[in-house]
Amino acid sequence: MTVTTNRLRIAIQKSGRLSQDSQALLTNCGLKINLREQRLIAHVENMDIDLLRVRDDDIPGLVMDGVCDLGFVGENVLEEVSLQRQLDNESYDYTVLARLDFGGCRLSIAVPQEEDYQSIKDLEGRTIATTYPRLLNRYLKQKGVNCRIVNLKGSVEVAPRAGLADAICDLVSTGATLEANGLKEVEVIYRSKAVLIQRRDLADEKQLKLIKKLMPRIQGVMQANE
Ligand code: PRT
Ligand code: ZN
């Protein structure tokens, strides 16, 4: 059973790197958010909007399945989920309303520092650990390199030391984590930022009007931050 409501539903990361910035953006747009720490749903007091606070990995699917109307998510997660859903013959439709000014990072391949690395061809036949198997697979295919991909949900950066993989493919921002684990970045395979996405089939007039009102405010807040 799906609960019908014509309040606009926005999915945001509950706790993590995108939570604060997503919430701050909405607050700066004038939304009065009633936040109780452990709650799944936060009501916006002065507009017909509810925030759904979930794991970032669930956000693309919630929007693609039409369970949420909008979502704040990293392009890395969005693209990975899209590729996976295409393979699984599930819907993967969405519209990007805005590319945001936070959550910037890159998805990179890294190898042990002592490795003599010349090019991606050096990884032929080797094993790479990652949380992003679809993005990595797409990149390796483009380059014509065959590798074994090991799918890890966490602790990717320790995989080479633990003898689980020859290389890793993980998110990087400052590079400090790679360095602390004796790894060096050798290929950037994807550059990511946070985006605001909308479900494709949104048709409710009231909700569309609300989004139309919200978008110039979001652009305004981002310009003010420049
Ligand atoms: O619990 P939930 O599933 O919601 O959260 P999560 O743990 O999966 O994600 P989270 O909160 O870590 O990241 C959410 C999103 O933030 C990512 O999907 C990216 O879009 C974005 N982002 C931006 C990053 C980073 N920067 C980043 N540096 N996500 C992860 N990292 C990791 C990086 O892999 C490294 O392990 O942070 C660590 C520190 O990075 P360095 O390079 O500065 O050392
Ligand atoms: Zn996650």
Ligand nearest to the CA of 155: 1
Is residue 1 domain-resident? no
Is residue 3 domain-resident? no
Half-sphere exposure of 168 (CA within 13 A, CB side): 29
Its ipTM equals: 0.99
Q: d(Cα 179, Cα 185) in Å, to the nearest integer?
A: 9
Same-domain pairing of 110 and 147 = yes
pLDDT of residue 2: 58
Q: How far, CA to CA in Å, does 147 sit from each of 2, 128, 170?
A: 42, 7, 16
Q: Whose CA is nearest to atom 43 of ligand 1?
A: 174
Is residue 2 domain-resident? no
Q: Are 23 and 31 in contact (CB under 8 A)?
A: no
Residue among 171, 178, 181, 183 whose CB has most ligand 1 atoms within 8 A, to mutate: 171
Closest CA to 170 of 144, 143, 150: 150
Same-domain pairing of 199 and 167 = no
Same-domain pairing of 154 and 140 = yes
Q: Which residues line ligand 1 (CB under 6 A)?
A: 13, 16-18, 55-57, 74, 76-77, 103, 105, 170-177, 192
pTM: 0.96
Q: Supply the Cα-derived Rg of the chain in whole angstroms.
A: 20
Domain that includes residue 38, residue range: 8-103+193-225
Ligand nearest to the CA of 73: 1
Same-domain pairing of 56 and 116 = no
Confidence check: pLDDT of 44 > 70? yes
Same-domain pairing of 63 and 91 = yes
Find the 77 Cα to ligand 1 centroid distance in Å.
10
Q: Could you tell me the CATH number of the domain that includes residue 24?
A: 3.40.190.10
Question: What is the average pLDDT across 194-216?
Answer: 97
Is residue 200 domain-resident? yes
pLDDT of residue 4: 60
Ligand nearest to the CA of 18: 1
Same-domain pairing of 215 and 142 = no
Q: Are 152 and 159 in contact (CB under 8 A)?
A: yes
